[in-house]
Chains A and B, each alone.
Chain A
């Protein structure tokens, strides 16, 4: 068989690929948009068949739901602060002084991926009897459990951030100029991995706002637990809040991706 070398070929193939690509995007796009449209439709129904925003206003007029939202927001902030406070000094220090610990710490941080949250909660139930005893039964103590859940996500983005800078040289330069370890951490490491910190924090916030398993089984009243409870008597309000949650997480992640592409552009310019 003779080998054809006509340069026309790629063009035709791209045409076919383009059609298939459009079909895939439209069909799957519709599959994913349909439930969201249905949520919008369902949450704006009213008793007599007309449209109303009753379910949506039901979100702010339910004091229990507002309280649960507030708890979840506080938890989201606390958990991301906790995980960053634990991971940033540890990971930076390991790169500078204890490289032998790098693999073990990575293993520990990624371990929660292999342990389902539902299993973790079985072991945490007795632990939380002690947490109750020492710290009181505030729902904010959930931040301790949530920092475990967000550990793999936070680790991955911080690891990427730290890999992108020459930490050793920067730290040595600062130390040579007389800076202490605390100064190195706060004024050298933190500003240099800013985008990684932001993405770790945003991922943690989104994860905590959506968390249900641990909160519901340890009997804490968070946003998702409340949404599930309301769903048993008033589906409309639950569906409205659910849609709100999904849209909010979507906005957070869009923010994240634009922060990421800004970083890529910045590195490209430097390079």
Chain B
């Protein structure tokens, strides 16, 4: 594929005189065609299938009944539990992650601490998945290190109240383990953006550390903090691998409900219900990400 040699000084943009603009743009589009074809097939088409399926009955006719099913019984429960889990772990992750970001940002910019914390955060936030579930089995599972230590030393039975690790409380604990690192990744740039001069200005006007955070640092970081918390919410809401590896029976949250539809544990005639659940997830995550983008833009003004 060879594009016509551009002899005009301007380079791209509008067509050069003497050459048909339609031919030019046609060739130009040919280069991006493979990308568009691929994204169309493997991203847009599957998404469209989910969206369309949510509005269809088993014969392919339009219906709102499938979506209506989401507002009742186990499905509504699963959505509520997913929101609760995501909100709680987003809050915990945001606060603790912000503290960790501050601790990292006040260290040396090229220091070892920073490098190690960032690499570890990347691993735990994005590539953990199944390994995280096993990490917690090794720690607070029935035969875990902490479980055994508490039982041998203090006679405390971690599982006295039931198999909490494989239910919502366990998911909350494990999710926090990838939420804090994600907060560090997305919030650290904002903390790094605080100029030391602002602090010096506060101090030369007689302000204390508290005054600085209350009137300068805090308000500047607030949009980024809220935005990051939203991102954490979306992240927990979308997460599947860790929960799937930890919870093999029952489907307390929406992603696990969808698993039930895909592995055929559900009655026939309800195939589109999985797609309706998918649509529900896209709406929740989409709205969250939209708000995130808005806050992100507001925060960009400070940089």
Interface of A is mostly: helix
- Report the stretch among B4-12, B68-76, B221-229 that lies at the interface: B4-12
**In the complex, A263 has a CB within 8 A of chain B:** no
CA distance A83 to B200 in the complex (A): 46
**Closest-CB distance, B279 to chain A (whole angstroms):** 8
- Report the stretch among A62-70, A140-148, A190-198 that lies at the interface: A140-148
Residues on A with beta carbons closer than 8 Å to the beta carbon of B127: 206-207, 209-210, 245-246, 249
Residues on B with beta carbons closer than 8 Å to the beta carbon of A28: 96, 99-100, 103, 180
The listed residue (B42, B103, B110, B245) touching A145 by CB distance below 8 A is B42
**In the complex, A122 has a CB within 8 A of chain B:** yes
| A5 lies within 8 A of B45 (CB) | no
Chain A 101-138 interface mask (CB, 8 Å, partner B; 1/0):
10001001001111111111111111100000000000
CA distance A242 to B141 in the complex (A): 15
**In the complex, A254 has a CB within 8 A of chain B:** yes
Query: Number of A-B pairs whose CB atoms are under 8 Å?
Result: 276
CA distance A232 to B130 in the complex (A): 13
Interface size class of B (residues with CB under 8 A): 35 or more
- Given A180-B2, A212-B244, A101:B32 Cβ within 8 A: yes
Residues on A with beta carbons closer than 8 Å to the beta carbon of B261: 122
Question: Quick one: which of A63-105 are within 8 Å of B by CB?
Answer: 86-87, 89-90, 93-99, 101, 105
Residues on A with beta carbons closer than 8 Å to the beta carbon of B99: 24, 28
Interface of B is mostly: helix
**In the complex, B289 has a CB within 8 A of chain A:** yes
Instruction: Give 7 new A-B contacts, CB below 8 A, not counting A38-B139, A93-B31, A224-B131.
Output: A37-B145, A116-B240, A123-B47, A123-B48, A148-B42, A213-B244, A250-B119
- Chain B contact residues, CB within 8 Å of chain A: 1-3, 5-6, 11-13, 28-29, 31-32, 34-35, 38-39, 41-50, 53, 96, 99-100, 102-103, 106-107, 110, 113, 115-116, 118-120, 122-124, 126-132, 134-139, 141, 143-146, 177, 180-181, 203-206, 208-209, 234, 237-238, 240-241, 244-245, 248, 255, 258-259, 261-263, 274-275, 278, 281-282, 285-286, 289
Can you name 19 A-B pairs with beta carbons within 8 Å? Answer: A3-B205, A16-B209, A21-B107, A28-B103, A86-B35, A97-B12, A105-B32, A113-B289, A114-B289, A125-B262, A206-B126, A210-B129, A211-B129, A213-B244, A231-B245, A235-B137, A242-B135, A256-B122, A261-B110
